[in-house]
Amino acid sequence: MLGTAAQVLATAKQVFDRDRLSVRLVQTLVAVALHDEMPLFDLAARLGGNVSTTHADLQHLGTINPRGQPGCGFITQRRNPIYPLQNVYELTPRGRRALSALVASMTAGGRCEA
């Protein structure tokens, strides 16, 4: 089991290394993929983290990171159509491709390694 987890992390590192994503950022990216259009507070609760850290992670994964530099471009935010004071987050096409590459590398050979 530990070997499989190490393989998954090694694969994630290969897919996301050029964007310098930590395991926590990959976890946040997967949470956005699984819970499309979820508001910040709900994502933070889902991840078991606090709102400030989750917001910084979402910025890093988005277009502008917390330092005002270009982000990864994996997610986008927009106003919640039901509650306009909230933002919701979703994957960009680039984020979908990155996660697809990760899943494909984990399931190479027609069987799931995770």
Average pLDDT over residues 44-67: 92
Q: Which of 31-35, 55-59, 72-76, 108-112 is predicted with the least confidence, judged by mean pLDDT? A: 108-112
Residue 5: inside a domain: no
Mapping DSSP onto H, E and C, the string for the chain reads CHHHHHHHHHHHHHHHHHHCCCHHHHHHHHHHHHCCCEEHHHHHHHHCCCHHHHHHHHHHHCCECCCCCECCCCEEEEECCCCCCCEEEEECHHHHHHHHHHHHHHCHHHCCCC
The answer to the question of residue 114 being in a domain is no
**Model pLDDT, residue 67:** 87
Domain count for the chain: 1
**Residue 88 counted as domain residue:** yes
pTM: 0.77
Note whether residue 6 is domain-resident: no
pLDDT of residue 2: 46
Could you report the per-residue pLDDT of 9-54, keeping only the tens digit for each?
Answer: 666 666 666 567 788 888 899 999 999 889 999 999 999 999 999 9
Q: Tell whether 60 is covered by a domain.
A: yes
Q: Decide if 10 is inside a domain.
A: no
Domain coverage including residue 60: 20-104
- Residue bearing the bigger pLDDT, 101 or 18: 101
Whichever domain contains 48, its CATH number is 1.10.10.10
- Look at residue 100 in the predicted model and tell me its pLDDT: 86
Any domain includes 4: no
